[in-house]
Each structure stands twice: as C-alpha cells, then as structure tokens.
Amino acid sequence: KMACCGRCFCCQCCCREGETRTPEELVKKDSLDYDRCISEPYVEVLEGMDNKKAKKYEAVHWMMVFAIGVTVGLLGLFVDFFVRLFNKLKFTVVGDSIEKCSDKGCLSLSLLELLAFNMTFVFIASVLVLIEPVAAGSGIPEIKSYLNGVKIPGIVRLRTFLCKAAGVLFSVAGGLFVGKEGPMIHSGAIVGAGLPQFQSITFRKIKFDFPYFRSDRDKRDFVSAGAAAGVAAAFGAPIGGTLFSLEEGSSFWNQALTWKVLFCSMSATFTLNFFRSGINFSKWGSFQLPGLLNFGEFKCPDGDKNCHLWTAVDLAFFVLMGVVGGLLGALFNCMNKNLAKYRIRHIHPKAKFIRVLESLLVTMVTTIVIFAASMLGECRDLSTPTAHNTTLAGSEDINSTIRQFFCSNKTYNDMATLFFNPQEAAIHQLFHQDGTFSPVTLSVFFFLYFLLACWTYGVSVPSGLFVPSLLCGAAFGRLVANVLKVKLGMDIYSGTFALIGAAAFLGGVVRMTISLTVILIESTNEITYGLPIMITLMVAKWTGDFFNKGIYDIHIQLRGVPLLEWETEVEMDRLTASDIMETNLTYVYPHTRVQSLVSILRTTVYHAFPVVTENRQNERDFMKGNILISNNIHFKKSSVVSRAGEQRRRCQSMKSYPSSELRNVCDEQSAAVEPSEEGEDLLQQMLERRHAPYPNLYPDQSPSEEWTMEERFRPLTFHGLILRSQLVNLLIRGVCYAENQSSTNQPRLSYAEMTEDYPRYPDIHDLDLTLLSPRMIVDVTPYMNPCPYTVSPNARISQVFNLFRTMGLRHLPVVNAVGEIVGIITRHNLTHEFLVAKLRQHYITI
C-alpha cells in the first residue's frame, strides 16, 4: 500500500489537467538497492577476503573501467564514421542535383531526392524506437534518474543499446535537428552497466562464470563511469565528463569513484582520438581530433596586434547575452513541455505507428523548410580571406563546406551554408568563418531552428539536444556580433560572441553550470574563455530558473519519476519523520512458515520487509508446545543487547587474562549484575515491562476486522530488513526446516548463490509450491540485513532526506527509543509533491 500510494500520488501530481500516460510511461519505477546488505553470507565473504584477494578485486575493477572507456570510444568512432558517410552521400547527391537543376528548373526533383533520403533514414530510426521505446530521446533524463536511485525498466538493456546506437545514426543523417551527443551518454551508461556483468537478457544462453560486481551499488558506479565516458567521447572533455556525472547524476560519490570515472573518461577520449586522427589524417598516434564535436582553435589572425579574443568591456555584453539566453531557454522549455503534454494526451495512447507518422511529418516539414530557406539566402562575397582556423574536425578545409547554391562564382549562399551542412560544420562556420552572415539570414535561421528543434525534441527517434542548442545559440551570438560591429562600430572577435551565445542558449535550456563550463572550455581548448563562459552560464541558469526547470528535469517530472533533489526546502523542517512515514507495515518474523511468506509475497508489491518480533506478556507460556513461537522468542532474547548482558560477555573474556587484578574486578562487577533471588532473568524483566495491552496472538493468525487499533498496530521489536528477492530466492532453493527439526538443519546459501540471478531475480509466481510443504519454517535471520540505517521518529525532514539521498537508500525504517519499528520511509515519501502535501496537511492540523 505504501508504494502504491506514493506512486498514485506522484502520478496525480504530474498528470493533472487531464493528462494520460502510455503503458510504457506507467511502468513501475522502483528504487535501487545501493545500501549493502550486511548479511551472514556477505560477512563470510569479507572474512575470507585477504589482502591478495582485495587487490585482485581492485585490479579487476580498474580493468573494467578501462574496458568501458575503450568500448565507448570505439562506439563513438562507429557512430561518427557512419554519420559522416550517410551525410556525405546525401549532400553530394542532392548538391549535384541542385547545381544542375538551378538552371534547368527542376528543383522539385532535388527536393524529392532530399525528402527520400531524410524520410528513409528517419523511418528506420523510428522503427528501431518501436522495438525498444526506451531508446527514444537523448536518454539523459533516464540516466539521471537511474543515478539518482530510480530503476526504470529496460534503461540499461543490450537491446536498448543496439536500438539507440543504430537509431541515432539515421536520425542525425535524416536531417532532423538533433544531435548524437545525448545518445552517446546514454549508450556509454549502458556499456558501463552491461560490460562488467558478462551477461544479457537478450542472450540468456550465453553465461560466463564471473562472480564480481553483482549488486546495484557496483552497477551504479560503472554507469557513472560509462555516462562520463560518453560525454568525454562526444566533446573530447574527460574532466567535463567526470563533472557531468557528478553534477547531473550520482547522489552518492566518493574519492575512489572520482579517480576511476576520470580514468574511464580519459580512456574513451584517447581511444576515439587515436582512431579518428589515424583515419582522417593518416597520422596514427597524432591525437588531433579529441571528440565527436570539436569547436576548433580560437585565435586572432597572425599579425593583427589590435585583435583580442575578448576584453573586460565585452563582459557586460556577455551578461546581457546570458539573460537573453536564459529567457530563450525558458521559452524553449515551456514550449517543449506543452508539446510533450500534447504527445502524452493525444499521440502516445494511440497505435504505435502514429508515432512513426509523427516522426515522418516532422522530417518532411524540416526538409521543406531547409530547402525553401536555402533558396532565399543572400549571396555573400568570398573575397574576404577566411580562416584563422581553416581545418574542420575532419581533413576538410572550412571553405569546403561553403554552399554556392543559386549564387555566382566568388560568392556563397549564407543560408544554404548553414542549412545544407552537417550541424558540426555549421557551428564551425559560425565560430570561424570571416565571411559575414547577413543579420536577416541569422535571424531567420535562428527563428526556424528554434521552432523546429523544439518540435523535434520528443519525437520517437534517438535524439540529442546539445548540438541543436549550440547551433541555435551560435547564430544568436553571431547576430549580436554583427549588430555590434556594424551598428556600433566595435572592434570585436565574432567567434567569441558566437561561442558565448551558444553557451547562453544551451545553459538556458539544460541549466548546467560546472560541468558545462568545463566541457566548453575543453572543447575550445582555450582556458581564457573560462571566466566569460562561467559568468554567462550562471546568469542564464538564474534567469531561466526564475520561470521553469531545465529541459531534462521537466521531462523527468512528466514521466512521474520520483527524483530526489540535492536538498529540501527550509520550511520542510516543520515536519518530522513520523509525519511522512508509512505506519501500515507488512512484516515477517525471524522464523516464518512457508505458507505465510508465499501469501505475503503474492499479495503485496513491497520490495523489503521488516523482520520483527512481537512484545508479549507471559512469553514463557507461549513458548510451550510451539516450536515456531519458541524460536522467534529465543531469537529476540539473543539479539537484544543489554548493558548487563554485554558486561557479562566482557567479563567472561577477561577471566582468561593472567592478571589476578582483572579477574577480581570482573568478579566484583559480575556479583553486581547477578540475577535476583527469584532467578528471573534481567532481560526477561525488561521485555515483560514493555508488554502492550493487546490479546496474545500466534504469528500465523491473520488480522481480524474486529481488532482494535492497538491490536492491529501492536509493538514490534525491529531486528532487520530482508528483501523480496532474497525471500523468493530462499523459497525457490528450498531453504527451510521442518517443525520437528532445529533451525540449524536449514540449508545454507553462499553469497554467490544469493546473487547468482542478479539483476533479474525470479518472481514469486515462478515458485512451484508442490516442492515445498506449507508448514515448513524459514529462518530468514542469516540473510537479512541486521544493521540497516534507521532514523528516529523525531528526526527533522532535512536529516531524513540527507541520510536517504546521500547513502542511496531504498528503505529507511523509523525506530523509536525502545527499538520498536513504528514506520518506514521510501523514496516516494520524500518527493517534493508528497512533502508539500504533508506540509499543507500539517498547517491545516495546526
């Protein structure tokens, strides 16, 4: 009930105004188990771990990190090679056709050729998304949710990886205003999740005996490394990739993880750089092309001593551009949010082929707009010498991407140069082309690109948003530079203003600060741009945050993902843990019958259960004649630590000391804590003083409607947590004992056996009940986590939130001062919407 209520509330908050969701979007989003389960099998592994084995484990970890980086680098090489191949084929064929038909009057044939190329490519990309719907979009919102602790089904599967990597080739080559950088981050995260596992659900029959990294905690670390490697390969920015994974992703971080993530990012960057430099320049080992997107070198023309990349005066304009970029980004996010809501209401509930038709419609409109706008471009003079930096990311000269469509010799079509090129080439034109672009061309290009990029982000194809935002912002920055040069006569460097415009618009859309600053600095290879980029991004973020959230956070919210922010609002500290916890618990006993466990597992959706014992009066009478109750009570007495009992234990160990003085001290203290004359145990006295006013019931007895509130919510001593997956594993493997036997006769499972089926554990409905007797008893105590993080009912929400998020918890038991569990807190109890509702209820109560 607790999890269901949380999901229902979250869905109601996010689906207001009559929104509906598709079955894919209503898939249950569970939390990940980042907290280690310190069970007896895990402790046995730790005890058997000597220095040699620990070093071997660490060496395997580093090998996996390196393998992830190399694999992501090779993936980037694959994506880049085929995107360039498809674009070269398309632009060569269509460009030749336009040159021929501009005189013959058959431009409609050229348009049909361009439509045929683009719609074929996009159709293939859209079909791949139908195969695996999670492959749509950039994947950054999903990976951000995963690293925040939310498990979205299918997000790191091999099939998703194949559809994403292949789909992005065709969506970019299909002329859509999308980038390949976002899907690269998602693909890198999938490589990080899957490669260390050496298994896949797609190829179930292929299994390797690889016992390492069988937990959500380890997978989370590798996903962080893979996502960072994706950023590093996309932008040639290993430090920026590391900061991206830290800023946008992981809720839990440590120093060792930072070093490994940076190493993984470096491996990806230099693997891609090595192969791209060798293929494009035939200079193996030269390392000239660090990333898929490289901004080139910003420098003044040789001999021009009056040229400066930027000056202190320019900072004032950069601040204003940051404000405008934040406003434009907020407008972009608002429009895209409304489009996403429209898709959720009217497109996603319909047949899946409707999504393919939408993708083809966007492609057709984009192609026609590109073709028509190119015909309206102005012919600019090429007499001005171009190039402070004449080399593109490949071996091409920057002038080779100039388009002369419908223009005479020694002139070029400025609009066609921006539209009839790959997006990376258009960015280079805006950053480094000395030939001017007319203000009308830049304004029309910005307006069309803004609208079409906003419409495109969200269609059912793999699509990134970084490059479209950079290109749109670069046009805005170049427009500002033209105005300052022509109207005000200022001597400025146009490329710098194009770069700052790109940073302003991208920062206004995604609202990233630290990582984006470093990514842009590494992409430009110019450290002097650090201050203006940082100032621009901060101003853009502050301006945009005044109106709405970043684009990724908006899409996370629309999907109903219970994302936890970095911290709660100050006013939330009016609430305590007892105000938000779920009190209606489903629990198990240390020794529970098979029939009870099966009933609990089949009738609830919880993923963890508190292991408890009941506090009873006259417990000795209940122990007679019932092995189940006797075992539970004995476990409770043996697990409760008292000061007297602890002193006895220490004294017993001190008696073996040779010093007579220590023995005498121990005897004196032992005499002080001897049981009373009646022979009654102190622990028994303590437990009986805490009995509750409710009927004494057997653990097998089900709740009755006639029970009072005290009978339903009777005191429960908390002993630990056990996961659903662990209980199912125990039942399927027949780990139980008979009533006439001792619990020592129960079979024992090793840690490897407990984690063998990770990450897809068996379902309770797969259990063959004919193999087990319902009256058999399961001792869950060796496999539970006896020391999970707990919190007091009086703890303030900021304390609860920080503990839950920082330690990556999935369940947080609320335990009172006498060791009784009074509730449990999950991720849904800490979402912003849930806390706001509870705070409103708190004010009403006051």
Kindly state whether residues 85 and 106 are assigned to the same domain.
yes
642 shares its domain with 759: yes
If DSSP states are collapsed to H, E and C, what string results for 331-366? Answer: HHHHHHHHHHHHHHHHHCCCCCHHHHHHHHHHHHHH
Q: What does the alpha-carbon distance between residue 695 and residue 617 come to, in Å, rounded to a whole number? A: 9
Residue 718, C-beta contacts closer than 8 angstroms, at least 6 positions apart: 610, 611, 612, 790, 813, 815, 819, 820, 821
Per-residue pLDDT reduced to its tens digit, 21-66: 443 443 455 677 777 778 888 888 777 777 787 788 788 888 889 9
Burial label, 678 (beta-carbon count in 10 A; 0-12, 13-18, 19+): exposed
Is the same domain home to 255 and 166?
yes
Tell whether 477 and 607 lie within a shared domain. no
Report if residue 7 sits inside a domain: no
Evaluate if residue 108 carries a pLDDT over 60: yes
Which residue type is seen at 221?
D
- On whether residue 44 sits in a domain, the answer given is no
Clarify whether residues 483 and 444 are in a common domain. yes
The pair of three-digit structure tokens given for residue 764, joined into one six-digit string: 């309770």
Residue with tokens 């703890």: 795
Q: What is the pLDDT of residues 719-758, one digit of tens each?
A: 999 998 889 988 888 888 888 888 888 888 888 888 877 7
In this structure, is residue 483 part of a structural domain? yes
Q: Where are the beta strands (DSSP E) in 548-703?
A: 591-593, 608-614
pLDDT of residue 680: 44
Judge if 330 and 471 occupy the same domain.
yes
Q: What is the predicted pLDDT for the residue at 367?
A: 92
Instruction: Identify whether 525 is part of a domain.
Output: yes
Looking at 337-401, which runs of residues are DSSP E strands? 379-381
What is the total residue count of the chain?
A: 846
- What pLDDT, on a 0 to 100 scale, did the predictor assign at position 682? 44
Short-list 25, 564, 10, CA closest to 341: 25
Residue 135 β-bridge partners: none
* Interval 241-279: pLDDT, tens: 899 888 776 566 677 788 889 999 999 998 988 888 888
Dump the DSSP string for 208-245.
----S--SHHHHHHHHHHHHHHHHHHHHT-HHHHHHHI
Assign residue 121 the CATH number of its domain: 1.10.3080.10
- Beta strand ranges found along 780-834 (DSSP E): 811-815, 821-826
* Per-residue pLDDT at 532: 93
Residue 29 lies in a domain: no
Please identify which residue in the block is written with the tokens 């891609």.
Answer: 272
- The model's pLDDT over 784-820, given as tens digits with 9 standing for 90+, comes to 998 899 999 889 999 999 999 888 888 999 998 888 8
* pLDDT value for 461: 92
User: For residue 459, what are the domain limits?
Assistant: 306-339+399-563
Q: How many domains does the chain have?
A: 3
Residues 184 and 331 in one domain: no
**Structural domain includes residue 6:** no
Quick one: 112 and 218 in the same domain?
A: yes
Residue 686 is predicted with a pLDDT of 41
Residue (of 165, 158, 197) closest to 64 by Cα position: 197
> Region 6-35: what's the mean pLDDT?
47
Distances 625 to 173, 353, 410, 549, 595 between C-alpha atoms, Å: 76, 66, 103, 63, 20
Chain position carrying tokens 């220095």: 51
Percent helix, percent strand, percent coil in the chain, to nearest 5: 60, 5, 35
d(CA 149, CA 394): 40
Of 545, 563, 581, which residue is a domain's last? 563
Average pLDDT value for residue range 169-193: 90
Q: Is the dihedral of CA 199, 205, 210, 213 positive or negative?
A: positive
Whether the predicted pLDDT of 542 surpasses 50: yes
Residues 714 and 786 in one domain: yes
In a domain, 474, yes or no: yes
Beta carbons within 8 Å of 509's beta carbon, 6+ residues apart: 329, 332, 333, 465, 469, 544, 550, 551
Do residues 264 and 66 lie in contact, with contact meaning Cβ atoms separated by under 8 Å?
yes
Q: How many CA atoms lie within 13 A of 53 on its CB side?
A: 7
In a domain, 472, yes or no: yes
User: What percentage of the chain has pLDDT greater than the value 70?
Assistant: 79
CA torsion, ordered 199, 206, 59, 519, to nearest 10 deg? -40
Domain harbouring 749, CATH code: 3.10.580.10
Co-location of 221 and 317 in the same domain:
no
pLDDT band at 205 (very low <50, low <70, confident <90, very high): low
Shared domain for 527 and 597, answered yes or no, is no
The C-alpha R_g of the chain, in whole angstroms, comes to 32
Q: What is the mean pLDDT of the chain?
A: 79
The answer to whether 171 and 279 have CB atoms below 8 angstroms apart is no
The pLDDT of residue 54: 79
Q: Is 614 exposed, middle or buried (0-12, 13-18, 19+ CB in 10 A)?
A: buried
Two tokens at 753? 């056996």
Q: Which of 239, 261, 294 is the last residue of a domain?
A: 294
- The answer on 263 and 114 residing in a single domain is yes
Tell which of 519, 544, 563 closes a domain: 563
pLDDT digits (tens, 9 = 90+) for 316-365: 999 999 999 999 999 999 999 999 999 988 888 888 888 999 999 999 99
